[in-house]
Structure 1
Amino acid sequence: MHSATCQSSPGSGRSQPVAWTRYTPVAILLLAAVLVAGCGAPTATPPPTAAPTPRPTAPPTPTPEPTLPYAPGESPLTGLPLDPEAARYPPLALLIPSDADSYGLSQASLVYEAVTEGNVPRYLAIFEQLDASQVGPIRSARPYHIEWACPYGALLVHWGGSPPVFPMLARSDCLANLEAMTWEGGYFWRTTNEPVPWNNLFTSSELLYGYLENWEITRFLSYRGFPHKEDASPESRPVSATIEVTFDYPVRYAYEAEQNEYLRFYQGRPQIDRLTGAQLRVKNLAILFAPQRPIPGDQQGRIQIETTGQGKALFCLDGRCTEGTWSRAGPEEEFRFLDTGGQELRFNRGNIWIEVLAVDQEVSYTVIPAR
């Protein structure tokens, strides 16, 4: 969705006037004499010109390839194999409510969870590859969702947005846009079995990739992603661990040592992907603390979240949580996560969930170490 306009200033197209010189008869005779003398004089042979000594040319310095934290054929976000066909397309960035049963969320490479209004959060789910007959529900976007999706050159899939969203999308050259209010009935459908009407809009991988095909949208941005490491050895993993975050409802992550993953619970119950019937599992959890404040005069109670700059963070993987920092150079840049020594954090290979909390929001976690 890049665009450029070039302007050039053409010339007037007019022919320039030709200047004529008027000669007198005397001048013509003198000119003839000069021509005759020139024809009769011998032509001097110029001395040979010595060829310049060639100088050795240094070979051009090759431009080093950028060092990427992932290998070819791997997902930059998860470090897992990425289907070559899916890699032709931009990632899919879907807005999904957290207070409703979700479909397909377990396939997301990266999930952001952050408050929209009323202390109720929403997911921005980034799918690098998706195979789902039903995914959603689809909800509206906020400005910070656009900022977080932008570095991945994603197709933003949403149903409307807060007032600043549409001007941001109109100016953006880092996102493709699929807005459900425009395309409902073409790339989305509604169900009748959801408890509330604002959580009944769905789509599918077939429809989303069909949209990209119809509009000839292929991947147009590359992104760095995150560095990865191997899982901690089984003998070093703790017996169990729990992490609890409270929004309008409690969220809990329970560590499972055998799979080295966290099981997600919502309002005290296992959170299920309705597409598969399985509980949501999280390989890596990053908790970011960022300034949040109400938008002045907003009647809906919407908030601003500032995630440009840097702040404190908590990283939970391998059954343990460690402190660190997050940083982001600008609103279109990827996040960088650093440990307490200033080194870039290396995630386990697998999905990543990012909780974006207020700076004074509490998180509790307990760890029962290995015996």
Structure 2
Amino acid sequence: MRKGMVFALVLALAFMAGGCRNEVRTVPEPPPQAPGETETATEGEPTVVAPLTGQVVTVPASHRAVMAMVNNAPKARPQSGLDKADIVYEVLAEGDITRFAAIYHSQAPDVIGPVRSIRPYYIELGAGFDAVMVHAGGSPDALAQLREGGYAHLDEIHNPRYFWRDASRKAPHNLYTDLTRIRRAMADKGYPDVGKLPRLPFVDDPRQDPVGVPARKVEIRYMATYRCGYEYDAARQVYKRFTQGKPHRDRTTGEQLAAVNVIVLEAKHRVLDAAGRREIDLAGPGRAYVFQRGVMQAATWKRVDGVLRVYGEDGAEIPLYPGNTWVNIVPDAPGLTASVRYE
């Protein structure tokens, strides 16, 4: 009897061991990765949608935007870093030359510049993004507005250690910085690195093309001596940028600048003084053209929640396609129709 019980116990233990061995060998493999998933989720870096471009990125969505004033005088071209801006505004400064207000959030160029001075209407643009504004001096009205409004800003005149001069160019067209220096300055000055970003609308289905009239080539005349333009590249679904009839390239990369969305709007301009400083009405409303995927839509614009927004004939805000956006602001005289040609 005792021998039989021992034998049965040995058999039971052997069976259990074999069962455990079988379980180890037959552990099911993980299910296949679902379409659209990326390995970043398993690496602890979940993807997020950049609020100013609508593109999936792996950077913090809450960190603060930066607006840099970038020179567009002939001796300042080609510039560096405009290719990495989420949004670029091109607006007249003094004379017949425009200046760029480049909004950085989802990408970080190696170099930004040449950096130039600021004006009140550029401050209005930057304030809509709660951006830290980077500049080299400014008009008396702009400097007073920055000071009295308590805006977060970085002025090279008083903070040269966060900038550098390029010896291959002459001042004032040789001042540069980068986001590493800018964010270091923000920390030194106690500026929060978390900002309040606006909500921008993006198309529900990027595979759907916009409805409008053909516009594969766009020319914008600001003044008699300055013009810029865009040509649509259907393969890349972007508008390649031109300045004075030549490809507008980034100095650092050598690549031609391009935009997914191009908006041209007219605003009231008024010359204030003998130096040619201007007052520009960025409240609106006014007329606008929206260029996307080789098509133009006529629109109206107005500033809502601090941001210039465009609206279709039905009154709904026109959504953007995922990617960067360039906004060209032209004077109301001679106006949008006379300043912009497209075909």
**Normalized against structure 1, the TM-score is what?**
0.73
Partner of 1:255, secondary structure, is strand
Residue in 2 aligned with 1:218? 192
Q: Indicate which of 269, 278, 283 corresponds to 1:308.
A: 283
Aligned residue runs from structure 1 range 64-79, under 5 A: 73-79=48-54
CA contact (8 A) 2:221 2:340 kept: no
CA contact (8 A) 2:128 2:306 kept: yes
The residue type paired with residue 312 of structure 2 is D
Aligned residue runs from structure 1 range 141-160, under 5 A: 141-160=118-137
Q: Indicate which of 155, 161, 166 corresponds to 1:191.
A: 166
CA contact (8 A) 1:104 1:136 kept: yes
Mapped pair 1:338 → 2:311: yes
* 1:269-326 alpha-carbon deviations (Å, 9 max, x no partner): 111111211000111011111110110xx23111110111311111111111111111
Q: Indicate which of 199, 217, 227 corresponds to 2:201.
A: 227
Residue in 1 aligned with 2:226? 249
Whole-angstrom distance in 1 between the partners of 2:319 and 2:147: 35
Cα shift at 1:351: 0.5
Q: Indicate which of 250, 259, 264 corresponds to 1:287.
A: 264
Aligned residue runs from structure 1 range 47-196, under 5 A: 73-85=48-60, 87-99=61-73, 100=76, 101-173=78-150, 175-184=151-160, 186-194=161-169, 196=170
CA contact (8 A) 2:86 2:107 kept: no
Residue in 2 aligned with 1:320? 295
Greater shift in the superposed pair: 115-124 or 217-226: 217-226
Q: Percent identity?
A: 28
Mapped pair 1:203 → 2:180: no
Whole-angstrom distance in 2 between the partners of 1:136 and 1:130: 15
Partner of 2:290, secondary structure, is strand
Whole-angstrom distance in 1 between the partners of 2:92 and 2:133: 18
The residue type paired with residue 141 of structure 1 is I
Residue in 1 aligned with 2:19? none
1:302–1:236 CA distance, 2 compared to 1 (3 A): closer
The residue type paired with residue 347 of structure 1 is L
Cα shift at 1:82: 4.2
CA contact (8 A) 2:210 2:295 kept: no
Greater shift in the superposed pair: 278-287 or 123-132: 123-132
Partner of 2:253, secondary structure, is coil
Residue in 2 aligned with 1:351? 324
Partner of 1:309, secondary structure, is coil
* 1:49-105 alpha-carbon deviations (Å, 9 max, x no partner): xxxxxxxxxxxxxxxxxxxxxxx92222211134434x4531110000123221111
Q: Quick check: which has more Rg, 1 or 2? A: 1
CA contact (8 A) 2:219 2:230 kept: yes
Whole-angstrom distance in 1 between the partners of 2:216 and 2:154: 40
The residue type paired with residue 162 of structure 2 is Y
CA contact (8 A) 2:210 2:293 kept: no
* 1:192-225 alpha-carbon deviations (Å, 9 max, x no partner): 212x411110011221122223334334542323
Residue in 2 aligned with 1:24? none
Greater shift in the superposed pair: 245-254 or 126-135: 126-135
Residue in 2 aligned with 1:261? 238
Cα shift at 1:334: 1.8
Whole-angstrom distance in 2 between the partners of 1:354 and 1:177: 22
CA contact (8 A) 1:97 1:139 kept: yes
Where structure 2 has 5 or more consecutive residues not aligned to the other structure, the ranges are 1-46
Whole-angstrom distance in 2 between the partners of 1:187 and 1:262: 33
Structure with greater helix share of residues: 2
Partner of 1:349, secondary structure, is coil
Where structure 1 has 5 or more consecutive residues not aligned to the other structure, the ranges are 1-71
The residue type paired with residue 335 of structure 1 is L
CA contact (8 A) 1:293 1:305 kept: yes
The residue type paired with residue 79 of structure 1 is G
Whole-angstrom distance in 2 between the partners of 1:235 and 1:300: 43
**RMSD of aligned C-alpha atoms?**
2.3
The residue type paired with residue 123 of structure 1 is F
CA contact (8 A) 1:76 1:223 kept: yes
Partner of 2:218, secondary structure, is strand
Whole-angstrom distance in 2 between the partners of 1:92 and 1:238: 35
The residue type paired with residue 199 of structure 2 is G
Whole-angstrom distance in 2 between the partners of 1:218 and 1:327: 29
Whole-angstrom distance in 2 between the partners of 1:117 and 1:366: 26
Greater shift in the superposed pair: 142-151 or 233-242: 233-242
Cα shift at 1:235: 12
CA contact (8 A) 1:285 1:353 kept: yes
The alignment covers a number of residue pairs equal to 288
* 1:209-248 alpha-carbon deviations (Å, 9 max, x no partner): 2222333433454232311114355899999710000123
